[in-house]
Chains A and B, each alone.
Chain A
């Protein structure tokens, strides 16, 4: 009894662990895992890089105040009547300030005012985490401290495979959904055609009954030989029309069945879907940021292909207002969903491309055999 009880308990624990693993690597669990990982990254990077940003901003501010003091002293306390000496002093001070400013820019200063605007807000850090694990990497926001860079590398080592897994999984699911919707649309289309043809058949049948009634009335009045000939002709025409309509219906059903069996979504539809998504993004960013159409499309394309130059970036005049934070969140969602959509498109197009490649290879091989 003890041995059996212990075995059942161990087995139950093992089953529980297996169920947990299955859940986390199922679709919903994987989405939650990716979002949770990005949120974790946001917390970490904000804690690490936020103080450094404040430090740099304060450095620039103090340098500017010092420059103002020097110019004040040169203007009103030192010999102000000597134009050449005064101009030299001012130029030297401006040059020194430029040097300090350039050094700060290299260290991560972004031209924002101390205490008023900041890059490393929670949503800014969240977007940074997302650009790391999706390998977009705009570079507008980048880790500058030693610890920040180390954490970025560790974060990428774990996050990039997780992102690949997420895209593979979600791509599969979305491809199935897309294929299902496509099949449903095909069924609807052929059902509509079938209904149309049935109505046509009914109309023909009604016309046939009318003709037969007229023929019957006519037969009562006329002589037998003419009646028999006319009736035969009418019957033949009716049968031909009915058979033709039924044949058409059968052809429609067979065509629908054939297309449903193949179940390959055409590449043009896949490309159209992707262009549609890019169009939506273009419209959003055009309205928000005041960019031209080409600039918005350029940003969306560069982002979804994970090139990520960073020359165009949403909220470049970013502030801590709620509206700007909301834009960053929507941008993050757009990128995440867009990459999943891209994975879906690759998944759908892959079969078609493989079939065409195989066809080309067979053709090439047959041509080679002919040459031999």
Chain B
């Protein structure tokens, strides 16, 4: 395509230099946009049908699971309302009677003291009576408040008589807080059957919610990955378009200057191709950064703060604190939603938020936790493996005087001048034999394999000649190791101070090389 454009531009430039710039630009745009629309339309129709099918197949199980959860919550709401509502009225009346009774008793007692004019009561005795009364009042008020059946409205006689706490929305909200293990504690079962029902309800409901949240979390994870990939694709396309426009302007200016610049235009086209190729390869990597994941969680909590600020008339900090404690499923219960109208929205917010948290853990958190744990485990495994290998190698070297060691990556290192005969090789049980004409040059400068490099780096094993010193056991260093030492008629001349690079064994003999890791004195 680029070549075609270049040829056309070159011809027009050379033939008719008097053409105006306005005519040139629309023509080129037509040429560039001629091909793609047709193929795009065809592929678009096909992909649309396929997408619909994929979406339908993918969404149905999720919807079924959510519906099952919703039905379970409704059943729980009916159950708890049926069990707990009668007890609530009874308890509330009892508590109100107690508090009002305390007040009336106090009044009668003081009045009787006053009316008895014969005895003049002392200030200390009077204080003791009042202290006792107010302590009892405080204790009963706190107990009533703790049970959440009596609020300031009841104590100040500002509420209707038939108002109850275990309404259907509140019961459903209670059921939701049980299976999400948030457990505010603003509503709790008091009856024996209510508590047994709560235990059984939680035992069945918590696994159901965990499965549902994991499912929704995975769905959200895939959706977010899809969005991120689309965003990357769109960004790439935009960049390509801008680069194309820039190249067109550049081509025009070059064509105007002279016809000798054709080769440089070809070079610039090649550069554009290389850039687009590199962008394509870079775009394939899908790595959602941890920062973005945390930002999603923080944004969701902040949005929740705004919502509850407007719904429940809280300060923003209180609302944010409530959302955070809820998302973490801590659920203190010091701040709880009170408006009946918004209970269902609150439940939806909670369940969606927990799914979002599961998604974020799935994307970023689990990997980091596993990585840290893997790091701890890997240290032990690597050290153990290296120690075992090195000890085995040391043992063999000490007892058999083997000349050559083959490292874990397959590299050959000659230790001393000993050459094993076939008999000795058979006794040692080695199965690897060098061939007669085997030659190996510059062994130690070949690049190490990935696994070997990893082990060497972690365990501080010395392989390269510069790292090897005379203190390192059986390795002897010589400055002239690049120059091979050959005797007459191909025999290997033995030299205790040299590390040989070329080994030509005697006729009718073979050299046995054990598969061992070189000894490392520091480990």
The digit string for B21-34, where 1 denotes a CB below 8 A from any CB of A, is 00000000000000
Cβ–Cβ < 8 Å partners of A99 in chain B = 152, 156
A44 at the interface (CB under 8 A from B): no
Shortest CB-to-CB span from A350 to chain B, Å, is: 12
Q: Is A139 a contact partner of B329 (Cβ separation < 8 A)?
A: no
CB B188 to nearest CB in A, in angstroms, measures: 4
Taking a contact as CB atoms closer than 8 A, the residue among B131, B188, B467 that contacts A309 in the complex is B188
Interface range for B: 35 or more
> A60 and B126: CB pair below 8 A?
no
> Least Cβ distance of A56 to chain B in Å?
12
Asked whether B375 is an interface residue with its Cβ less than 8 Å from the other chain, the reply is yes
Bits for B310-351, please: 1 = Cβ < 8 Å to A, else 0.
000000010001001100111111100000000000000000
Is B511 part of the binding interface, using a Cβ–Cβ cutoff of 8 Å? no
Assuming the contacts A22-B379, A135-B181, asked whether A308 and B334 have C-beta atoms less than 8 A apart, the reply is no
Report whether B134 and A139 are in contact in the complex, using a CB–CB cutoff of 8 Å: no
Query: Is B489 interfacial (CB-CB < 8 Å)?
Result: no
Q: Check: A146 CB closer than 8 A to any chain B CB.
A: yes
Asked if B139 is at the interface of the complex by the 8 Å CB criterion, the answer is yes
**A72 in complex: contacting residue of B126, B188, B325, CB < 8 Å:** B126
Q: Give per-residue flags for A10-24: 1 if the beta carbon is below 8 A from chain B beta carbons, else 0.
A: 010001001101110
A135 touches B328 (CB 8 A): yes
Which of A71, A80, A138 is within 8 Å of B130, CB to CB? A71
The interface-forming segment of B44-52, B60-68, B194-202, B412-420 is: B194-202
Known: A137-B325, A160-B328. A307 touches B334 (CB 8 A): no
* In the complex with contacts A102-B141, A302-B183, A25-B114 CB distance below 8 A: no
Within 8 Å of chain B (Cβ to Cβ): is A132? yes
The docked-state distance in angstroms from the alpha carbon of A142 to that of B376 is 36
A75 and B120 alpha carbons, distance in the complex (Å): 12
Give the distance to chain A from B208, nearest Cβ to Cβ, in Å. Answer: 14
Taking the closest CB of chain B, its distance from the CB of A114, in whole angstroms, is 12
Bound-state Cα–Cα, A138 to B145, Å:
16
Q: Is the CB of A311 within 8 A of B188?
A: yes
B224 interface contact, C-beta 8 A: no
Asked if B185 contacts A310 (CB within 8 A), the reply is yes
Which residues of chain A from 108 to 150 have any CB-CB distance to chain B below 8 Å in the complex? 109-111, 131-132, 135-139, 142, 144, 146, 149
B460 within 8 A of A: yes
Q: Are B369 and A165 in contact (CB under 8 A)?
A: yes
Q: Is the CB of A15 within 8 A of B460?
A: yes
The residue on B at minimum CB distance from A3 is B466
Q: Does B285 contact A (CB under 8 A)?
A: no
Q: Are B202's CB and A307's CB within 8 A? A: yes
List residues of chain A with CB within 8 A of the CB of B324: 153, 156
Is B138 a contact of A60 with CB atoms below 8 Å? yes
Known A-B contacts A90-B107, A99-B156, A310-B185; A137 and B460 likewise in contact (beta carbons under 8 Å): no
B123 in contact with A22 (CB, 8 Å): no
Residues of A within 8 A of B329 (CB): 135, 137, 306
Contact in complex: A26, B376 (CB < 8 Å): yes
Q: Which listed residue (B127, B199, B321) contacts A68, Cβ 8 A?
A: B127
Say yes or no for B444: interface residue by CB 8 A criterion.
no
- Interface status of A101 (Cβ within 8 A of chain B): yes
- Minimum CB–CB distance from B241 to chain A (whole Å) comes to 42
B291 close to A (CB within 8 Å): no
Q: A139-B334, A294-B192, A307-B181 are in contact. Are A98 and B155 (CB under 8 A)?
A: yes
B184 adjacent to chain A (CB < 8 Å): yes
Indicate if A161 sits at the interface (CB-CB under 8 A). Answer: yes
Q: Is B249 an interface residue (CB 8 A)?
A: no
Interface of chain A, main secondary structure = helix
Return B385 CB to nearest CB of chain A, in Å.
Answer: 15
Q: Report the Cα distance A23→B375, complex, angstroms.
A: 10
Measured between beta carbons, the chain B residues less than 8 angstroms from A64 are: 131, 134, 138
Residues of A close to B156: CB separation below 8 A: 95, 98-99
Q: Does A195 contact B (CB under 8 A)?
A: no
Per-residue A-contact encoding for B149-179, CB less than 8 Å = 1, 0 else: 0001001100000000000000000000110
In the complex, A302 Cα to B184 Cα: how many Å?
A: 12
A298 cross-chain contacts in B, Cβ below 8 A: 195, 198-199
B111 within 8 A of A: yes
Please name all residues of chain A whose beta carbon is closer than 8 Å to the beta carbon of B220 when the two chains form the complex: none
Give bound CA distance, A97 to B133, whole Å: 12
- Complex CA gap A4/B477 in Å reads 15
Q: Is A282 an interface residue (CB 8 A)?
A: no
Per-residue CB contact flags for chain B residues 127-150 toward chain A (1 = under 8 Å, else 0) read: 100110010011101110100000
Residues of A within 8 A of B138 (CB): 60, 64, 101, 111
Bound-state Cα–Cα, A18 to B372, Å: 11
Cross-chain contact of B331 among A71, A75, A102, A139 (Cβ < 8 A): A139
Please judge, given known A-B contacts A25-B375, A67-B134, whether A294 and B196 are in contact too, CB under 8 Å. yes
> Is B152 touching A156 in the complex (CB atoms < 8 A)?
no
Contacts of A135 in B (CB 8 A): 181, 328-331
Is the pair A11, B460 in contact by a Cβ cutoff of 8 Å? Answer: yes
A309 to B372, CA, bound (A): 34
Q: List, in ascending order, chain B residues with CB within 8 A of A332's CB.
A: none
Q: Nearest 5 pairs between A and B by C-beta?
A: A307-B183, A137-B330, A139-B333, A111-B142, A139-B332
**Besides A109-B142, A164-B369, 16 other A-B contacts (C-beta < 8 A):** A21-B372, A25-B375, A67-B130, A68-B127, A68-B131, A94-B137, A97-B134, A131-B330, A135-B328, A142-B334, A153-B324, A160-B328, A165-B373, A307-B181, A310-B185, A310-B333
| A–B complex contacts, Cβ < 8 Å, 29 sampled | A11-B460, A15-B460, A19-B379, A21-B376, A21-B379, A64-B134, A68-B127, A68-B130, A68-B131, A71-B110, A71-B130, A90-B110, A97-B137, A98-B155, A110-B142, A135-B328, A137-B330, A138-B185, A138-B332, A142-B334, A153-B321, A153-B325, A156-B324, A165-B373, A294-B196, A305-B202, A308-B331, A309-B184, A310-B333
Binding site for A on B (CB under 8 A): 103, 106-107, 110-111, 113-114, 123, 126-127, 130-131, 134, 137-139, 141-143, 145, 152, 155-156, 177-178, 181-185, 188, 190, 192, 195-196, 198-199, 202, 206, 317, 321, 324-325, 328-334, 365, 369, 372-373, 375-376, 379-380, 460, 467
